[in-house]
Structures are given as C-alpha cells and as structure tokens.
C-alpha cells in the first residue's frame, strides 16, 4: 500500500476563545507533523446533521483564514474543503489562489466542487440563484478550464456557455507548476468525468449529506449515507477509468477521505481499510469527531489532534 499523509479540517467558525489559542493550535498542527490544514468554504452557517451547531455559527471566510494560517506557519499545506467554483467568478478565484500560493511559497491545495447549499448561491454568488445540479457541474467544468488556463497561459480568451474572457491575463503565476493541485469533492457521473479531466485529486467525506427540497423553494440539509470502503472504491474506480480514457496518470492522482477520527488505536484499522481501496490522504473531520456535549471545546479539539498524532500517525 502507498504511504498515507494526514491533514486537519479546522472549523470555519470561531471555536477558539481568543486568537492566541488559534495561533497555538496552528503551531501544534505543524509541530505534530500534520501535512495540511483545511478550512470548509461556507459563508453562512450550514445546519448539518450530526454536527453541534454552536460550533459552526458565524463562519469566517475560508480564503482569508487560509491566508492568516499561511502567515503563522512555515510548512503546513493550506487547503479549501471545498470551494464551490460556480459560487465565485472563476477568474477572481484563480487570482486569489495564485496570490496565496505566492505568499505561502507554494503551499496551496485548491479544493473545488459544484456547491450544494442553496442559500449560499442565492445570497453569496453572482448567480443569485440555486441552479440545478447539471448546470452547476457545467459551470464547474468551465470554471476549472478558465482557472487552469489563467494559471498556465500568458493571455486567455474564453467563449463558454456561462463565462467569457477576452485577452485576460493573470500575474504573478502560482509558485506551484503547472498549477496548485485541484482536489474535487463531487459525486455523480458528470461531475466525476469533470474531476478526471481537470483535477489532481478526489476527496470524499465519510458522511454524505445534501439538500432535500421539502417544499417548493425550501431546502433542508439531510444525512444521505455513510461512505464505506466499498462505496469509496466504487467511485475511485470510476475516476480511474476516466483518467485512463483521458490519457492521464492514475498514479499521479490522489484519493482523499474526509474522515471521522477518535484519536485512538481503533482509527488504524479503519484507515487501513480505506488505504486498501486507494486512499492516500486522510483529513480529520474534527467537527464531526467530537461529542456535541463537549464543554471545553478548545481543550477537546487539541486533545483529539494530539492523540491522533501520538496513537495513529506513527503506524503509517
């Protein structure tokens, strides 16, 4: 089995009591040997089943927080988990990513998706509406093409169905060549094809949730299913088949899991099962791993990260 790396998904909300606690957390993450720090990209509170809501109210901006982390660390990678490309102007997102990659000396991982939270699109996007999934995936495809071309070409013109550019250029280019890695957090046949054609990795949450329209124009976030190693492998194999079809390297493509962790030895067996079906990067879902009854949240947060580094990571 290939060697696995570990990252930490930090809450997008203010879970620390003061900024000095957040700074100490970042220092420990780097000192404990974690490869990356990831921030979910949600401008509003997302009421997700199984997560204690008090912890994710009033989220901070993902890319601003990643920029702050870049200035407080030296080697840890910086990732969005994940940014819905259709919720942004693609060229603007490409500029943000390139800027952070320059400032961090090439540490950015660009998590991307088609988006799934209706109110975020209605209130926080230039679209101003929550479009059908097929359209959002089509926007994702065009957006990824624009971003990659801006990062790798001198002048870009683009005449798409949803986006248009005329003699656009982006400078300075990202430090990472040909561009920062793109990790897709999508599912569905069309989205998987887009992932295999444009991205460098695929990330799946262990717990799948999504919006269900409970009344006309009214959505409710509901739990969909638990991702088992078998389900993970099935989707990974689909991506591998499309990678081969597009003439891209399967070996250079990364498969990631956004997983639950206890920080105890029991994690080892679960991680090994996912490694057997191709997983090579594990991002700890701290928010979902802690009990909603936890009182001293910062202390429990750090306890989980320390225990995982001590009890689990040395086995890999």
Is residue 15 included in any domain, yes or no? yes
Other beta carbons within 10 angstroms of residue 195's beta carbon come to: 31
Which CATH number is 116's domain given? 3.20.20.30
Is residue 30 included in any domain, yes or no? yes
Question: According to the model, what pLDDT value does residue 175 have?
Answer: 98
Question: According to the model, what pLDDT value does residue 229 have?
Answer: 96
Is residue 250 included in any domain, yes or no? no
Question: According to the model, what pLDDT value does residue 15 have?
Answer: 84
Percentage above 90 pLDDT, the chain:
77
Is residue 287 included in any domain, yes or no? no
Is residue 239 included in any domain, yes or no? no
Whole-prediction pTM value?
Answer: 0.93
Is residue 275 included in any domain, yes or no? no
- What's the domain range around 38? 8-198+206-233
Question: According to the model, what pLDDT value does residue 54 have?
Answer: 43
Mean pLDDT rounded to a whole number for the chain:
91
Is residue 261 included in any domain, yes or no? no
Percentage above 70 pLDDT, the chain:
93
Q: What's the number of domains the chain is made of?
A: 1
Angle between helices 189-198 and 133-152 (to 10 degrees): 0
Question: According to the model, what pLDDT value does residue 232 have?
Answer: 96
Closest CA to 298 of 20, 70, 1: 20
Comparing 202 with 117, the larger pLDDT belongs to 202
Q: What is the pLDDT of residues 123-178, one digit of tens each?
A: 999 999 999 999 999 999 999 999 999 999 999 999 999 999 999 999 999 999 99
Question: According to the model, what pLDDT value does residue 293 have?
Answer: 61
Q: What is the pLDDT of residues 252-296, one digit of tens each?
A: 999 999 999 999 999 999 999 999 999 999 999 887 788 666 556
The beta-carbon contacts of 233-240 under 8 Å, at least 24 apart in sequence, are 233/277, 233/278, 235/187, 235/192, 235/202, 235/204, 236/202, 236/277, 236/278, 238/189, 238/192, 239/192, 239/195, 239/196, 239/202
Looking at residue 295, what DSSP letter applies? S
Question: According to the model, what pLDDT value does residue 11 have?
Answer: 86
Q: What is the pLDDT of residues 61-79, one digit of tens each?
A: 999 999 999 999 999 999 9
Is residue 87 included in any domain, yes or no? yes
Please tell me whether residue 39 adopts helix, strand or coil conformation: strand
Q: What is the pLDDT of residues 189-217, one digit of tens each?
A: 999 999 999 999 999 999 877 777 777 76
Question: According to the model, what pLDDT value does residue 51 have?
Answer: 52
């Amino acid at each position: 089995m290939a060697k696995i790396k570990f990252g930490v998904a930090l809450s997008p909300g203010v879970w620390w009591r003061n900024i000095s606690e957040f700074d100490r957390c970042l220092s420990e993450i780097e000192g404990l040997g974690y490869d990356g720090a990831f921030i979910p990209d949600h401008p509003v509170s997302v009421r997700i089943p199984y997560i204690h809501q008090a912890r994710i109210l009033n989220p901070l901006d993902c890319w601003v927080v990643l920029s702050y982390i870049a200035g407080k660390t030296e080697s840890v990678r910086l990732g969005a988990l994940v940014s819905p490309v259709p919720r942004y102007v693609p060229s603007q997102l490409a500029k943000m990513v390139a800027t952070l990659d320059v400032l961090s000396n090439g540490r950015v991982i660009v998590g991307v998706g088609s988006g799934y939270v209706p109110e975020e699109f209605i209130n926080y996007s230039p679209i101003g509406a929550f479009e059908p999934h097929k359209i959002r995936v089509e926007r994702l495809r065009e957006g990824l093409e624009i971003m990659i071309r801006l990062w790798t070409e001198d002048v870009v013109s683009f005449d798409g169905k949803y986006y248009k550019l005329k003699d656009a250029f982006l400078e300075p280019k990202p430090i990472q060549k040909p561009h920062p890695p793109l990790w897709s957090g999508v599912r569905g046949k069309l989205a998987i094809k887009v992932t295999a054609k444009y991205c460098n990795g695929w990330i799946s949450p262990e717990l799948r949730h999504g919006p269900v329209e409970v009344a006309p124009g009214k959505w409710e976030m509901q739990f969909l299913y638990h991702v088992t190693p078998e389900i993970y492998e099935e989707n990974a194999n689909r991506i591998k088949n499309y990678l081969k079809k597009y003439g891209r390297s399967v070996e250079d493509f990364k498969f990631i899991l956004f997983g639950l962790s206890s920080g105890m030895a029991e994690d080892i067996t679960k991680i090994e099962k996912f490694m057997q079906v191709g997983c090579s990067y594990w991002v700890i879902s701290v928010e979902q791993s802690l009990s909603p009854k936890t009182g001293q949240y910062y202390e429990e947060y750090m306890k989980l990260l320390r225990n995982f580094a001590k009890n689990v990571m040395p086995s890999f």
